[in-house]
Amino acid sequence: MKTALIFGSSGLIGSELLNVITQNNNYNKIKLFVRSAPNSNDPKVEVIQIDFNNLEKHKDSVVGDDCFFCIGTTRKDTPDKNEYRRVEYNIPVDIAKIAKSNSVKSFVYVSSIGANPNSSGSYLKNKGQVEEELNKLNFPKLAVIRPSILLGNRKTFRLGERIGIFVMKVLSIFFLGSLKKYKPIQAQNVAKAMVGIAQNHDQKTVFESSELNEIGKII
């Protein structure tokens, strides 16, 4: 039996991931690393309130088999450039380093379609730079998850995002061949794919949205 570590369980992907892992018999323990304690009565779940400004303080808790990192923000929610960089780059890299030092076997990181360390946009640039740093850590199993526009029930309403989702849904019938990865994807399928990928021992690292959709459908 395995222990799952989840960072970012309150977001769209993270909340779906928690549901999927809770129902997965390969895991007998789930550690949720959160800022504020959620309501959870599941005996498999251990809630660990963490100070993201002092990660070393919680180093001894980052012990398990599969670490799933789903934390992310937007420039709207985090307008300060330094704080945005800390959330999008420093926190995932620092947590990955702690996990590696504690012999966590696999690290599954939610990146983004189009992630590129040389991108002119800060969002895709940060994601790409995190991917580079994760590759240097040599986890026995590293999975970089690159979903397209996510579908699901968000807790917050974002008008621009809703419009983008509508447009992408309309255009998705034209996304064929190499363009398939741009089709919107259900967050639940992403979560299912993440768990399936963590169980797989092949050495494939990067998973585009179309691949996630196929894996998620058969899990």
Q: For the segment 162-172, what is each residue's pLDDT rounded down to a tens digit? A: 555 445 555 55
Would you place residue 39 in the very low, low, confident or very high pLDDT band (cuts 50, 70, 90)?
Answer: low
The average pLDDT across 127-153 equals: 93
Domain boundaries along the sequence of the chain? 2-218
Superfamily covering domain 2-218:
NAD(P)-binding Rossmann-like Domain (3.40.50.720)
Would you place residue 173 in the very low, low, confident or very high pLDDT band (cuts 50, 70, 90)?
Answer: low
Please enumerate in sequence order all residues whose Cβ is within 8 A of that of 47, keeping only pairs 6 or more positions apart, or say none: 32, 34, 37, 38, 40
Which of 41-50, 95-104, 170-179 is predicted with the least confidence, judged by mean pLDDT?
A: 170-179
- Is it the case that residue 148 has pLDDT exceeding 60? yes
Bridge-partner residues for 30, per DSSP? 4, 45
The average pLDDT across 18-41 equals: 88
The average pLDDT across 60-68 equals: 97
**Alpha-carbon gap, residue 176 to 46, rounded angstroms:** 43
From residue 57, alpha-carbon distances to 10, 54, 61, 105, 113 in Å are 22, 6, 9, 21, 33
The average pLDDT across 73-100 equals: 93
Would you place residue 85 in the very low, low, confident or very high pLDDT band (cuts 50, 70, 90)?
Answer: very high
- Is it the case that residue 159 has pLDDT exceeding 90? no
Q: What is the overall mean pLDDT for the chain?
A: 86
- Percent of the chain, pLDDT > 90? 64
**Alpha-carbon gap, residue 191 to 19, rounded angstroms:** 9
What is the pLDDT, as a whole number, of residue 71?
94
Q: What are phi and psi of 33, to 5 degrees?
A: -100, 115
What is the pLDDT, as a whole number, of residue 172?
55
The average pLDDT across 34-51 equals: 83
3-state secondary structure of 116: coil
- Is it the case that residue 185 has pLDDT exceeding 90? no
